[in-house]
Chain A
Amino acid sequence: MTIALETKGLEKSFGGLKVTRDLSLKVEQGARHALIGPNGAGKTTVINLLTGVLKPNAGRILLEGNDITDLAVHKRVLRGLSRTFQINQLYADLTPLETIGLAVSERLGRGGDWWRRMGTRGDVNQEIAETLGSFHLLDVMNERTATLPYGKQRLLEIAVAIATRPRVLLLDEPAAGVPESERHDILAAVAALPRDVTVLLIEHDMDLVFSFADRISVLVNGAMLVEGPPDEVARDPQVKAVYLGEAADA
């Protein structure tokens, strides 16, 4: 199996606080890999390191074997590494059509095109329509994103990441805060992600993790505790201790 995304000895500290400790992670091509861990385990920091929002103090990040540790955020996206956000980071004033249109234009290297109007390129329009269609957003494509139901916003969140045609997709708690009635749509969208896209899922919701992932890494205090297939991880005494301990606190 080839490795789609790999970290080698990743370290990150904020002042004296070490939030990522010697993290070495391998995500296989086409995998459905989940990264779980209790609150404060440093999951979000890992995402920020992978996407380039934060720079690591030590260690390397490889995307399909190429070192991307020093690349800017937008360049990693163009190399095929996209993410969704845990809390909506959508463009409140743009419509879903414009949001997806922007992602498609940038991917095609047309984002700097200042002379052509939006909507005049047939190939771009077609791709926008396909993406909106597969995420059930066609009926709301011309509404301001801020006015959409939360479930639709979460779908758009995934749709815009997919519109960049990633080879590796980081899903940061895709179903967080979605009301029960709209939850099904999100889970269906996650399940329907193209198989050739490698997915690293960062999630709290254990039902989602165990129904989706074929491999699980458990992060505790910024370091890897256990990694393995779901049934193995579920039986692991250390993992039980962490999660039962947390449950006992709650």
Chain B
Amino acid sequence: MTATSDVSSHAIARARWRPAEIAFWILAASCAFLFPSRYLIMTDIIRLALFTLSLDLILGYAGIVSLGHAAFFGVGAYSAGLMALHGIINEPVIALVVAGLIAMALGLLTSFLVIRGVDLTRLMVTLGIALLLEALAERFSNITGGTDGLQGIEMQPILGLFAFDMFGKTGFFYSLIVTFLLFLLARRIVNSPFGLSLRAIKNNPLRASAIGVPVNRRLIAIYTVAAFYAGIAGALFTQTTALASLDVFAFERSADLMLVLVIGGTGYLYGGLIGAVVFKMLQELFQTITPQYWMFWIGLVLVVMVLVGRERIHRWVLWGPNLIIRQVFGRKAVVAVPESDAP
């Protein structure tokens, strides 16, 4: 093999679909048939997964920390809600995209504030923007419904064909498909030269500019894209629950998001998806055991997880599947989570 084709195959290898990834998505789709009575909670998980994917794009790839990501979620949620409520755009898919674009515009505007400074500044600026929006939504209660939220949203059928049902089946498939498509796009982005430049910026911004990377422009671009993703997640929330209230902007939402991503791991796209599943299941579990103190247990899990180290947990979890694959297919080490850019 020549050096050039060697380079090409190694470079492409990173973007190749691994068996574990395909299995993951098949499993996700088959949940619809495995747990037909639990569409609502599964839809909740998918929305959270998409929202966390958005944070992973900026935190896991570009190293931008944010404590105010709910700002974009909230803008997406209210945009979708208002469009449906006032019949501005009735078709959910178009409304979804428009809501995402509105959040994206806000992302572009605020990116100039966020890319300045370092981590602490970014935490404060993002937090501040989310608080500002929450206060604005409360102040303009004639538009947003204030603390009562938007009342009486009625969703039209998706593409005029699939009506939302009370069991949440349509909502589930709708959310899953939207999330999958956006995941494909994200996967494409992170494996492109653009995605590579983001990882380089996260590693070492000084060096990135010293080899010709326009650092600020790249950060603005990915922050704007992430805002679009968060806006879509928010719009999905409104469309599948027919609700939009002030808590879409809440600080807890941004903070939970960070927890979810830390649980799942940053910088390999599946962190947000896996984290969302684990987080929601833990939440369910602890809420049944101790309805009042479930946050205590979530906190404990988080501390243990950080102390033990995520890699070790992944090894434990994957020990069983890997053993089976080794025995059955005779292959050596199989599915390890590529945790190259762990924080």
B213 contact set on A, CB distance < 8 A: 74, 102, 106, 111
Partner of B212, one of A77, A101, A120: A77
* Residue A105 CB within 8 A of the other chain: yes
Task: List residues of A (98-148) whose CB comes within 8 Å of B's CBs.
Answer: 98-99, 101-103, 105-107, 110-120, 122, 125-126, 128-130, 132-133, 138, 141-142, 144
Given that A125-B8, A144-B340 are known contacts, is A91 also in contact with B193, CB under 8 Å in the complex?
A: no
15 new A-B contacts, CB < 8 A, other than A117-B15, A128-B11, are A74-B209, A74-B213, A85-B207, A85-B210, A89-B210, A90-B204, A94-B196, A94-B199, A97-B10, A102-B196, A103-B211, A111-B194, A118-B12, A119-B11, A141-B10
A74 contact set on B, CB distance < 8 A: 209-210, 212-215
Q: Are B7 and A107 within 8 A (Cβ)? A: no
How many residues from B make CB contacts under 8 Å with A? Answer: 41
A163 contact set on B, CB distance < 8 A: 211
| Chain A proximity of B1: nearest CB distance (Å) | 11
Given that A53-B206, A120-B12 are known contacts, is A113 also in contact with B192, CB under 8 Å in the complex?
A: yes
Given that A106-B197, A116-B193, A125-B7 are known contacts, is A94 also in contact with B203, CB under 8 Å in the complex?
A: yes
Partner of A119, one of B7, B200, B210: B7
Given that A94-B199, A129-B7, A138-B3 are known contacts, is A117 also in contact with B12, CB under 8 Å in the complex?
A: yes
Partner of A115, one of B9, B188, B196: B188
* Residue A93 CB within 8 A of the other chain: yes
The 15 listed contacts between A and B (C-beta, < 8 Å) are A74-B215, A77-B211, A82-B210, A82-B211, A89-B204, A97-B11, A99-B200, A106-B213, A107-B212, A114-B194, A118-B196, A128-B4, A133-B3, A141-B10, A164-B212
| Chain B proximity of A52: nearest CB distance (Å) | 8
Partner of A72, one of B6, B10, B209, B340: B209
Task: List residues of B (1-43) whose CB comes within 8 Å of A's CBs.
Answer: 2-15
List the A residue with the shortest CB-CB distance to B222.
Answer: A114
List the A residue with the shortest CB-CB distance to B188.
Answer: A115
A105 and B198 CA atoms in complex are apart in Å by 13
A128 and B10 CA atoms in complex are apart in Å by 12
Most buried by B among A93, A118, A125, A133: A118
* Residue B195 CB within 8 A of the other chain: yes
